[in-house]
Homo-oligomer: A and B are copies of this chain.
Amino acid sequence: MSDLSRLFAPERIAVVGATDREGSVGRAVMTNLLSEFDGEVVPVNPTYETLFDVPCLDAVADADADLVVVVVPPKLAVEVVREAGESGVRAVVVITAGFGEAGGEGVARERELAAVADEYDIDLVGPNSLGVLSTRSGLNATFGPRGALPGDVSFMSQSGAFVTAVLDWAAERELGFVDIVSLGNEAVLDESAFVEFWGEDPETDVVLGYLEGIEDGERFVRVAREVTRETPVVLVKSGRTEAGAHAAASHTGSIAGSEAAYEAGLEKAGVLRAESVEELFDYASVLAGQPLPEADGVAVVTNAGGPGVMATDAVGDSGLDLASFSGETMDALRERLPDNANVYNPIDVIGDAPVERFADALDVALADPNVGAAVVMSCPTQTLSFDDLAEAVVDLRAKHGVPVAACLMGGASTETAEQTLAEAGIPSYFDPARAVRALDALRSYREVRDAERAEPERFDVDRERAREVLSRAADRGESRLGVEAMGLLEAYGIPIPEGEVVDSPAAAERRAAELGGDVVMKIVSPDILHKTDIGGVEVGVPLEDVRDTYEDLVSRARRYQPDATLLGVQVQELLDTDAGVETIVGTNRDPQFGPLVLFGLGGVFVEVMEDTTVRLAPVTGAEAREMIDEIRAAPLLRGARGREPVDEASVVDTVQRLSQLVTDFPAILELDVNPLVVTPDGATAVDVRLTIDPDELETADEPAAEPETASDTATHGGER
């Protein structure tokens, strides 16, 4: 990793395109830099002798700067960066717009800019950036109207306007920052670079971001997954619902669209998500200022019953629980509180409580090992000063090392108290739900920190056989496979029903007789994906009807699509689905995050109930188990209403094997096993649909011993 500290803590900055013209970007940048920066600022512009009383240079090469800020017109910008690079500069911020975002020749210009940065190994922010700020050195290399206060969080944004908005908003609330970067078009440095840098930066306690998209999702996940072990990352990711609406859903209607990929990707990366700027900074302040809860139980201490009920609701909505107090806690509370107080959680110290009583109750509650966090709530009363309460809360938080949030339910009268709490990192809000959400963010981050970052299991599979199945289809120039893909599943150890594809009524009858009992018969054609819809599947066919059914299936298929290639009819053993649950396991490939694996309730329900969950491949055993937990229909698998529980381990196994398959073969674009029938005896893939990219087959992830050819690599890289 390159050391981005050159961007945030330079000693000498050159501003190329500096000017004093009113209303210009160059003037704004110069003014901001000159106001507080600890080091030297060198304006570069051949048309001036001096600017703001500082000697003005003709060329960036003469500036001997360790950071160059570029505000020249777009046509000149690339040349300026090259000059800077040639003269040894390794950190550049390109504020100039008119690159990729402008389309047309801007796109080529941006590519050229990236190439120059690459050639000279320059850490380049932008182009089309508002600039960078850092309170480490009083640096404000932006053209925004406002600087930042010092603090312990760093912030990146894909919207420059959003940076100005956040700075204005944060100033009013006295929220501080370490570094801020407006990412611009991300020609070189992107969100992953800054997450990585801040993750190792001792000054930055929390990494915050506003993102609209993550170009290289796989890299982001890899980087952030490491960083979040020690440093919380909180993001507002916009475009949630638009993404949802535009999601190119596979025919199941529920397989991961782009928003699902972001959700899965950010989850795997251990990133916390905030829905608003308010939430972003609520989480930031609590993560920067408070210890993590060691238990999920919350104690609520209040001087009014109604608000206590609201806090209880909020706890119920969160991932936290209302703590159950130990017997000692209740005894101690009974001893210290008046008779009409409530010693159960929420603890009601009653409206006439002085600060001592409040503190007593909180002291007892925080000592209970079931209590991982506390909410202290107070309405305005005659017997209690918010200021005294705040001081007591700060002391008790310090004494017990348990995170606390406050609800001081008043207006202006809470001001000093909130200040006292804020200085100790204790958030205080009127709304109990907001206080509880902040504590819940601590719990979420504790789970991220503690999560095992296990490597996925590698199963012993018949990779060669899988390759053959795919190659055969590719050789026929086909991109969609139906039941023939069963061989692929078999090669990867996923159980399939006994049966085979036959090409005559007589062969069908013979096979059915061997299987014994009623059978399932399905038309096999790469051109007919939704077999059920055209009557292409018959379930429970008795032996005497097998010949006729063969003819029926073929004629229905012919009627539906006269030119369809018919490969025959599959004759399959009939599974006792009554004893099982129909599920779906599917995969598709996200352009940003790579292969995704979906699990959910199958059959007609996959579409209608949308009871599915998604993870990025490769999926670990722990993740596969989480996926089962997450679907609403989980109790069906676990024996609801006296049914025998199914073999969950077989689902976990199947999900992982499918994940391995799609990871091994980039040629697999989409693969749905639907239904995967799960019974107490195991899981069986009853039907499968597969879409491949025949051209990708050659570039499948080979063992290291078989190097890819140069041309293959180039094609591959270009497509990513």
A interface, CB within 8 angstroms of B: 23, 28, 102, 144-146, 157-162, 164-165, 168-173, 210, 212, 236, 238-242, 244-245, 275-278, 303-307, 309-310, 312-313, 315-317, 340, 351, 379-382, 409-414, 430-431, 433-434, 532-533, 604, 607-611, 632-633, 635-636, 640-643
Contact = CB atoms under 8 A, between A and B. Distances in A.
A276 B430 CA distance: 9
Contact of A240 (B241, B305, B316, B382): B316
Contact of A608 (B310, B533, B636): B636
A241 B432 CA distance: 14
- Could you say which of A212, A306, A609 has the most chain B C-beta atoms within 10 Å of its C-beta? A306
Given A310-B238, A635-B608, A165 B430 contact: yes
B173 A411 contact: yes
A275 B173 CA distance: 24
A677 B123 CA distance: 66
A162 B340 CA distance: 19
Contacts of A171: 411-412
Report whether over half of chain A's contact residues are helix, strand or loop; otherwise say mixed: helix
A275 B433 contact: yes
Contacts of A312: 239, 241-242
25 contacts: A145-B382, A158-B306, A159-B305, A159-B307, A160-B304, A161-B305, A161-B307, A161-B379, A162-B307, A165-B409, A168-B380, A169-B430, A171-B412, A173-B411, A212-B306, A236-B310, A238-B306, A238-B310, A238-B313, A241-B312, A242-B313, A278-B430, A604-B641, A604-B643, A608-B636
Nearest to A351: B161
A255 to B, nearest CB: 15
Nearest to A213: B309
Given A158-B306, A161-B381, A312-B241, A431 B640 contact: no
Given A241-B313, A609-B609, A307 B411 contact: no
Given A380-B165, A412-B168, A610-B632, A159 B276 contact: no
Nearest to A379: B161
Contacts of A28: 382
A244 B316 contact: yes
A413 B166 CA distance: 12
B607 A633 contact: no
A538 to B, nearest CB: 13
Given A170-B411, A312-B242, A313-B241, A165 B307 contact: yes
B161 A277 contact: no
A473 B277 CA distance: 62
A429 to B, nearest CB: 9
Contacts of A533: 641-642
A303 B164 CA distance: 12
A628 to B, nearest CB: 13
Contact of A382 (B23, B172, B532): B23
A156 to B, nearest CB: 13
A312 B431 CA distance: 26
A236 B313 CA distance: 12
Given A157-B306, A608-B635, 17 more contacts: A144-B380, A164-B379, A165-B430, A168-B380, A168-B411, A169-B411, A212-B306, A239-B313, A241-B315, A242-B309, A242-B313, A277-B431, A604-B641, A607-B641, A609-B609, A609-B632, A610-B632
Contacts of A245: 316
A306 B632 contact: no
Q: Which of A23, A315, A431 has the most CB of B within 10 A?
A: A431
B306 A210 contact: yes
A160 B277 CA distance: 33
Contacts of A162: 304, 306-307, 379, 409
Given A275-B433, A430-B169, A608 B640 contact: yes
A315 B380 CA distance: 37
Contacts of A316: 240-242, 244-245
Nearest to A144: B380
B379 A165 contact: yes
A560 to B, nearest CB: 12
Given A173-B411, A642-B533, A212 B309 contact: yes
Contacts of A240: 313, 316
A635 B611 contact: no
Nearest to A638: B608
A169 B382 contact: no
A659 B245 CA distance: 38
A241 B317 contact: yes
A159 B306 contact: yes
Contacts of A241: 312-313, 315-317
Contacts of A632: 608-610
A294 to B, nearest CB: 24
A532 B430 contact: no
Given A238-B309, A316-B241, A433-B276, A640 B607 contact: yes
Q: Which of A172, A239, A313, A413 has the most B CB atoms < 10 Å from its CB?
A: A313
Contacts of A303: 161
Instruction: Please provide the 3 A-B residue pairs with the shortest distance between their CB atoms, ordered closest to farther.
Output: A159-B306, A241-B316, A172-B411
Contacts of A168: 380, 409-414
A380 B169 CA distance: 10
A590 to B, nearest CB: 19
Given A304-B161, A608-B633, A430 B309 contact: no
A65 B85 CA distance: 89
Nearest to A279: B431
A459 B538 CA distance: 43
Contacts of A610: 632
A154 to B, nearest CB: 19
A165 B309 contact: no
Contact of A169 (B410, B434, B640): B410
A577 to B, nearest CB: 13
A162 B351 CA distance: 11
Contacts of A144: 380
A450 to B, nearest CB: 26
Contacts of A276: 431, 433-434
